[in-house]
Structure 1
Amino acid sequence: MTSFFEAIGGLLTFAAIILAIVWVVTRVKGTNSRHTGQYAIVAFVVAILISLFTGPSADSQTKPDHQAEQQATVKKSEHHAESESKAQPKVKKVVKKAVKANDNQVLLSKLVSYTNHESAGPNGDYYWTNGKARFEVSPNLKAGDYHFAGDSLGRASTAKAVLTYKECESSRGSRQGSPLDPVGWPIDNPRVAITYQLTGRTYHGYLFNRSHSIGDSLLGAKSYTSENNFTTGTRPQNVGADQNGGMRYAEETAEDYWESHPNTTNTIHYETTPLYHAKEEVPRGSVVDIKSSDGVINTEIVVINSVEGIQLDYSDGSSDAKEYVPARKPTTATPKKSTSTAQSSQTSHSPTKSGEWTIAGQGMVYVSDSDKYYSRVTNPGNYQYVTESQAMSQGAQRASRGNQYARP
């Protein structure tokens, strides 16, 4: 409607100008043009009135529309910025997960190469360090919390926990449970002889262990609550070539921190991720990320699930290992001992009790699964009771200090 009046006003203005020109011309020629001048004045006045009528109205309508458009643009921009801000943490989390998954694929390629070549890895002790820890501390896990997960094929996946000094202390003295059979646990677990190039020593014992992702010494009874905290690990994967490698190296990293920070309220974020090749049930190794709340520990350890001299089938845990049969020592005829002497000898080799401790008899020791032997323990059922010479011939070593299970 406003544009219509503006058009009329424009025509009247144009008409007023034409009439004014005609009036001037007729006046110059001396012709009577009084009405022409009047018409020109009337047309010009009407055009001005129309202009005054339409001008403010148009301004008053156009300006608010322009402001509304600006406000809408600002709101849209603010909404976009807010949405982008909310989405940013999720995007970062997804990106970090993708980066870690890609990095784990690179590590898996190395593990496949090592395991295919029956290798003990770059340091000969079935592990290597790989820079700083690569995991996001979960806000859902508080001090003392833990979580064990399985993957789509039912295999043990990431195990994570927020460890405390109190938990470590409460697990000292005895085992807190019985290991559970993981997916891929072999039907046949032969006794084998493994000679380690790093130490030159030979281990005689079972090929496979039910390997904790987060150990009893760190998490206590909680470490036995799910089979997803266990994988089928070779003996050297569990303790390395020198009893301080493999997964044991990662555990000792945390244990050493507690020993140097007694009664601390600090925590350790501990996360283990087994890495599988394709659909195999036995992992080629594990990635262990460890970070203390004060930043003193911040490391990633890659553990190799291999064994020198034995080829494994990671799809079912079978192997080309030869069963180890101990050689029998030749027997010689010896005179029979008197009954009293035999009883005395048997008694001297028998264990005795002293409070919570069981003390080995003369010349006898208790050998742990980690091939450390002790003269006194709190739970003798968890150990092999043999002579000290037998323990040493099997490759066991005297414990240099007490651990979470026993006291030397």
Structure 2
Amino acid sequence: MVRRKFLSKRNRTTTGLIAGVLIISTLFPSFAQNGFSQLVSAASHFLPLQSQQVRTVSSASGSQARQQGYTSWDEQESPNYVRLVGPSRIDQVVESGQVLYAGLDSLGRTLEVHACITYQMMEGGMAREREQMSNPSGWPRKNPEVQIELYNGSFYRGRLWNRSHLLAKSLGGKETVENLVTGTRMQNVGANDGQGGMALVETAVRNWLKAHPSGTVQFVATPIYEGDERICRSVIVDVKTSDGFIDEEVEVYNAAKGYELNYYTGEAIAQQ
């Protein structure tokens, strides 16, 4: 069994390669089951696990088995705001079709979400209308407008902060505060091309479920906070498919190129 890897892309050439592979796999599901993993595995030889220094933090998660740290975002290492950590660490196996929201901590911060995602959950989530969303912890009084260069050469122009799902609506997640964090646009969707941020993981899971409608996906998303900050620095995502084809832990950075972020208030200062 060849495991698929969520790659921390180091340059736009590699990003373009993976993007092309994803487009082909979406159009041709049989390729997604066979050739996809081989091409991604070949690319991964140029993308070793990153040796960034891990900061120890007091995670809002109560689970001692989860990763208790994060790394600072490095554009050269992770231009798409995603870092491959290693194999998944699923400490709580959830029953098929079930979602467990851990709730909020004493500071009102969202804790981890566990789920066992099915094809039916994906279908239902994609079909239903989006519900009104409450403000997660750290949501700013004024959401700044920004212009940010993205890893695919385009620019994002708009509001910096999103109400970002831990478990995507398209995977069966709800628009409840127990499932939302204050996330940068890049943390949420990257360049909105399915190749960055939480959207990278979500796209891979949807593609796998479309190719394996009878399969399931164990999923854990854990926001990591530093001290008593109200906005998470990263989200650690663990994903394991029932056939083991995807078995990865990734770190999704809550950052924005060219801006210094205040993780208490949501203020953003443009860097010169």
**Which stretches in structure 1 are left out of the alignment for 5+ residues?**
1-96, 323-408
Give the Cα–Cα distance (whole angstroms) in 2 for the partners of residues 218 and 242 of structure 1.
17
2:106 corresponds to which letter in structure 1?
S
Q: Of the candidates 147, 155, 166, which is equivalent to residue 213 of structure 1?
A: 166
> Is the contact between residue 267 and residue 293 of structure 1 (CA under 8 Å) also seen in structure 2?
yes
Percent of pairs with identical residues: 33
Give the Cα–Cα distance (whole angstroms) in 1 for the partners of residues 130 and 155 of structure 2.
29
Say whether 1:243 aligns with 2:196.
no
1:123 corresponding residue in structure 2: 78
Question: Could you list the per-position Cα deviations for residues 285-318 of structure 1 after superposition, in whole angstroms to 9, with x for gaps in the alignment?
Answer: 1000011222222111110000001111001111
Shift of 1:267: 1.4
Say whether 1:104 aligns with 2:65.
no
Give the Cα–Cα distance (whole angstroms) in 2 for the partners of residues 121 and 188 of structure 1.
30
1:69 corresponding residue in structure 2: none
> Is the contact between residue 119 and residue 210 of structure 2 (CA under 8 Å) also seen in structure 1?
no
Give the Cα–Cα distance (whole angstroms) in 2 for the partners of residues 242 and 163 of structure 1.
22
The structure with the greater share of residues assigned to helix is 1
Correspondence list, 1:123-202, <5 A: 123-138=78-93, 141-149=94-102, 150-196=104-150, 198-202=151-155
Say whether 1:282 aligns with 2:231.
yes
Say whether 1:268 aligns with 2:217.
yes
| Relative contact order, higher structure (CA 8 A, sep 6+) | 2
Give the Cα–Cα distance (whole angstroms) in 1 for the partners of residues 250 and 218 of structure 2.
14
In the superposition, relative to structure 1, how do residues 287 and 310 fare at CA in structure 2: closer, same or farther (>3 Å)?
same
Give the Cα–Cα distance (whole angstroms) in 1 for the partners of residues 236 and 84 of structure 2.
10
SS class of match (1:320): strand
> Is the contact between residue 209 and residue 216 of structure 2 (CA under 8 Å) also seen in structure 1?
no
Shift of 1:104: 2.5
Larger radius of gyration: 1
Shift of 1:121: 6.0
Give the Cα–Cα distance (whole angstroms) in 2 for the partners of residues 288 and 253 of structure 1.
13
Correspondence list, 1:3-402, <5 A: 98=64, 100-101=65-66, 103-105=67-69, 108=70, 110=71, 113-114=72-73, 119-120=74-75, 122-138=77-93, 141-149=94-102, 150-196=104-150, 198-219=151-172, 222-224=173-175, 226-241=176-191, 243-244=193-194, 245-261=196-212, 263-264=213-214, 266-321=215-270
Shift of 1:122: 1.4
SS class of match (1:209): strand
Question: Could you list the per-position Cα deviations for residues 171-193 of structure 1 after superposition, in whole angstroms to 9, with x for gaps in the alignment?
Answer: 23453423321011111102211
Give the Cα–Cα distance (whole angstroms) in 2 for the partners of residues 176 and 317 of structure 1.
24
Shift of 1:321: 4.5
SS class of match (2:136): coil
Give the Cα–Cα distance (whole angstroms) in 2 for the partners of residues 236 and 243 of structure 1.
11
Moved over 6 A (4+): none
SS class of match (2:126): coil
TM-score by length of 1: 0.48
> Is the contact between residue 213 and residue 272 of structure 1 (CA under 8 Å) also seen in structure 2?
yes
Give the Cα–Cα distance (whole angstroms) in 2 for the partners of residues 192 and 212 of structure 1.
21
> Is the contact between residue 148 and residue 157 of structure 1 (CA under 8 Å) also seen in structure 2?
yes
1:215 corresponds to which letter in structure 2?
A
Question: Could you list the per-position Cα deviations for residues 332-373 of structure 1 after superposition, in whole angstroms to 9, with x for gaps in the alignment?
Answer: xxxxxxxxxxxxxxxxxxxxxxxxxxxxxxxxxxxxxxxxxx
**Which stretches in structure 2 are left out of the alignment for 5+ residues?**
1-62
Give the Cα–Cα distance (whole angstroms) in 2 for the partners of residues 202 and 143 of structure 1.
39
CA RMSD of aligned residues (A): 1.9
> Is the contact between residue 109 and residue 137 of structure 2 (CA under 8 Å) also seen in structure 1?
yes
Give the Cα–Cα distance (whole angstroms) in 2 for the partners of residues 169 and 229 of structure 1.
19
Alignment length (residue pairs): 207
Shift of 1:255: 0.5
